[in-house]
Structure 1
Amino acid sequence: MTNQRPRIALFAYSQPGFACLEELIKLKANISIVFTHIDAPDEEIWFDSVYSLAQKNNITVYRSNKIDAAALELFKQASPDIILSAYYRAIIPDSFLTTPRLGAYNLHGSLLPKYRGRACINWAVLKGEKQTGVTMHVMTNRADKGDIIAQEAFPIKFTDTGHDIFLKTSQTVKNIIKNYLPLIESSTAPHFPQDESQATKFGRRRPADGIINWDSDVIDIYNLIRSVTHPFPGAFTFYKGKKIFIWWAVPLDEKEFIPLPGVQGAKNKLEYKSGDIINTNNKIIIKCQHGYLLLKTVAHPHDIDCLPTSKAFSAIFKTGNQLG
């Protein structure tokens, strides 16, 4: 039987993109084609494959690094009534966006107009936000600036990592697709303009951005670590020119630091400078500008994660040594 519902062209990648396709399949939407990406050889592919899911369900799928001539021809053949985009990384041409009679819509991992741009999930965690969410918005030639169709917020817990928020984002994508696809298909979806006075924008993050500045507040350093810990490139520091990844740690304030065994009190703490290592009672603690960081999981580059008290770090994590 021919599916009489509006034809959808889906542009999707990463876990939110997989979640979007999964929900569309569950809803028996009329997916005419899926565009996705070729996995980058230098990226840790932790997320489920949009390409494999489309193939498994006999949906026409094309993967590339950008919209090329073959993609253009396939798009024309698919003749979509709707475009949906979820974590597709390449620029979708204006000529595509203006083609579908029922519009083009993106699912963005923030509460627009805040956190426009790239890596919005990691940025929200890094900035210590207490909540974020997903916005479905109209796609225009101005990235992330189109009218809002739907938003759904969720909390960011103090212990949430960037990966945790990606998973919450993926579930929220499903919720929005389930609730708003029928409105898009019937051309009855609400439209709300974005408040430009509230807009913020952040750029792409690169592995080198994970460097730790010990002259920072301990909470800022903790937020950096949890925003880019596994499966992302990670936060790192140096000891005598050698890189060390800090995959997990716990912030301590002055009141939590002073009672620790081996710490002799307020007079002793004044001797420590930012980046100083304090090895006390089998705990490795680093002095920050404000507060202290209790290390939990560390690693040398291209090596397995281990405890900071392990033999591999015994010559480094000694009281008196300094990171940075």
Structure 2
Amino acid sequence: MRVVTLGYQTWGHRTLSAVLGTDHEVALAVTHPASDHPYEQMWADSVEDLARANGVPVHVATRADQELIDAVVAAEPDLIVANNWRTWLPREIYDAPTHGTLNIHDSLLPRYAGFSPILWALLNRESHVGVTVHRMDEGLDTGPIVAQQAVPVGPTSTTTELVLATMDLIEPLVVRSLSDLAAGTLRETVQAPASMTYFHKRSDLESRIDFTSSADDIELLVRAQSDPYPNAHFTFRGAHVRVLKAHVSTGRFGGTPGRVTVPYEGGVAVVCGSSRTSPDAAIVFETLRLEDGSEVSATDFFGTRGGYIDLG
């Protein structure tokens, strides 16, 4: 088959690499231009560089304009495989090939359609995350599922660890899907609309620690916002502080949420939870990152300073 790939960053790179490893011809690789946006510099393996190194024609575009439509049609693809193409695709593109378009999405559809699926799944304490190959249609991640694989979420898993684990699923799933399609054995499962869940992009506001939440929830937020993603953070005496490592205290602490208390279990315990009277587990901050990028222990940062973390 003649295959066109659409993709960006490491997800697109893994997808192109998978197709290059098959007997199918890559007629065109479409990707976005390099960017200095912090998010787009994460997991930034270049689709363009991989394509050019393998003699594959490249089309670089920011969106699906007429020039891109013309380039895809001119490539006369039998199939498009897309992964992390970041703008809307019109029917003129995804329906152009004989066999349509397969999209790769990093969740176990029909759950977690949309954005930041692994981060949301971890925050929601899902037991597994994964990758789904589905046919592209006019909806967002709504087309029939053709392949899917899961990986377990462990008790200390971070978003970063789960992203890397799901990236390793891309190539075998793409290879299997292309093989099944070429053999005429590809099976499709229509997604039930009632089973679908959709999530939006997370913002800085949602990374701010709410100390009226439980210690378990705060510790989970720290793992969900692991490097290189924007970290969970708080403000203390005017300083913007990001949390790199924390754990739930074994002892219980009472008082006002956000109150910095004492050195405890290798860090500093901060009161959290919704009650001011019933003692509960505290969040113990261990390693912090300051505004200048330096990393410090929580005991060094707080020193002998007590007080209240800004809850506003």
Q: Which has the higher strand share?
A: 2
**Number of paired residues?**
302
In structure 2, what is the equivalent of residue 295 of structure 1?
Answer: 285
Q: Which moved more, 1:30-39 or 1:129-138?
A: 30-39
In structure 1, what is the equivalent of residue 115 of structure 2?
Answer: 118
In structure 2, what is the equivalent of residue 42 of structure 1?
Answer: 37
CA distance in 1, matches of 2:60, 2:215: 42
* SS of residue in 1 equivalent to 2:125: coil
In structure 2, what is the equivalent of residue 180 of structure 1?
Answer: 177
CA apart distance, 1:82: 0.4
In structure 2, what is the equivalent of residue 217 of structure 1?
Answer: 214
CA offsets 1:30-84 (integer angstroms, 9 cap, x no match): 1111111223323142312222211221211222321233322321221111011
In structure 1, what is the equivalent of residue 5 of structure 2?
Answer: 10
Matched, 1:79 2:109: no
In structure 1, what is the equivalent of residue 267 of structure 2?
Answer: 283
CA distance in 2, matches of 1:293, 1:62: 49
CA apart distance, 1:302: 4.0
Do 2:18 and 2:175's aligned partners in 1 also have CA atoms closer than 8 Å?
A: yes
Matched, 1:306 2:290: no
Do 2:100 and 2:135's aligned partners in 1 also have CA atoms closer than 8 Å?
A: yes
- TM-score relative to the length of structure 2: 0.90
* SS of residue in 2 equivalent to 1:151: strand
Do 1:105 and 1:138's aligned partners in 2 also have CA atoms closer than 8 Å?
A: yes
Do 1:276 and 1:323's aligned partners in 2 also have CA atoms closer than 8 Å?
A: no
CA distance in 2, matches of 1:323, 1:246: 15
- Equivalent runs, 1:1-150 vs 2, <5 Å: 6-44=1-39, 45-47=41-43, 48-150=45-147
Do 1:131 and 1:155's aligned partners in 2 also have CA atoms closer than 8 Å?
A: yes
Q: Which of the residues 153, 166, 169 maps onto 1:169?
A: 166
In structure 2, what is the equivalent of residue 264 of structure 1?
Answer: none
Matched, 1:319 2:309: no
* SS of residue in 1 equivalent to 2:68: helix
Matched, 1:257 2:251: yes
Q: Which moved more, 1:162-171 or 1:71-80?
A: 71-80
- TM-score relative to the length of structure 1: 0.87
CA offsets 1:80-120 (integer angstroms, 9 cap, x no match): 11011112111111111111111211111111110011111
Do 1:134 and 1:169's aligned partners in 2 also have CA atoms closer than 8 Å?
A: yes
Q: Give the aligned residue type for 2:142.
A: K
